[in-house]
Amino acid sequence: MRHGTFRIFVILAGIGASGGALAAQPLPADFVYLRDIDPTIIQDMRYATPNNFVGRVLNGYEAGECIVTRAVGAALKRVQEDLARRGLSLKMYDCYRPQRAVDDMYAWAQDGRETPAQRRYNPKISKADLFRLGYIARHSGHSTGNALDLTLVQLPAAAAPRFDSSADYADCTGPQNRRAPDNSVDMGTGYDCSDDKAHTGSKAISAQQRKWRDALVDAMARQGFANYRLEWWHFSLPGNGNTAYNFPVKNR
């Protein structure tokens, strides 16, 4: 999600004046589109859509594509191969995140406005407190290409109902059939939920929801990924670089 508190170097890539020049720029050498590593991994890139806690496309997301470092992509492929034997698939919500999107999130948290749609993602917390509580940060591991937001889907994957920005969905802690639509397993909260119930070790979830969280954490840990305790969906691959980038997410 929005987390990331460590010190990183920022590379301002892909901010030329010409749109044509931007389109012609390749990914940095160590980055790759996840579809080129494993096209079977489902992608639902929320920040390239209005279906997220900000309620609009975030700066820097010009396409709904998962971009990762090569090491992360190779590790995700191994996770996917393990899960496939159990009738499961990974589903990506966010991968590489441009620094400009991180800045966009921070500005949103400080803008002094709060709508009912936004409250669905932080039902008990003012958005102005999200930074203090560790849900939003000025720098994110996502910008290094080594952090990911993801979940599990049972195969064959069912089609999720279309997201309706005007619908009266329950907040992210509500029953799965009343939350914003998703075809994932029920982890106890929706994605991007800033609430104690979304903490990976929360006791406020059912036995089945705990089983799914444990299955995700275990599958990722076997390939070296570490979970962020405040967000059941957030994982990173430690020791894999700390340089943050700002190139936009574009189509392959």
Share of the chain above pLDDT 90, in %: 79
Stretch (H or E) spanning 23:
helix 19-24
pLDDT computed for residue 25 by the predictor: 56
- The boundaries of the domain holding residue 93 are 9-245
Q: What is the CATH number of the domain that holds 74?
A: 3.30.1380.10
Task: Please indicate, yes or no, if residue 125 is contained in any of the structural domains.
Answer: yes
Q: Rounded to whole angstroms, how far apart are CA atoms 145 and 20?
A: 24
Strands 42-43 and 31-33: unpaired
Q: Tell me what the pLDDT averaged over the chain comes to.
A: 90
Task: Please indicate, yes or no, if residue 113 is contained in any of the structural domains.
Answer: yes
Q: Characterize 1-16 residue by residue with b for buried, 16 or more Cβ atoms within 10 angstroms of its Cβ, and e for exposed.
A: bbbbeeebeeeebbee
pLDDT computed for residue 156 by the predictor: 97
Q: Rounded to whole angstroms, how far apart are CA atoms 97 and 215?
A: 26
* Strand, coil or helix: 13: coil
Q: How many domains does the chain have?
A: 1
**Confidence band for 8, pLDDT divided at 50, 70 and 90:** very low
In tens, the pLDDT along 52-106 reads: 999 999 999 999 999 999 999 999 999 999 999 999 999 999 999 999 999 999 9
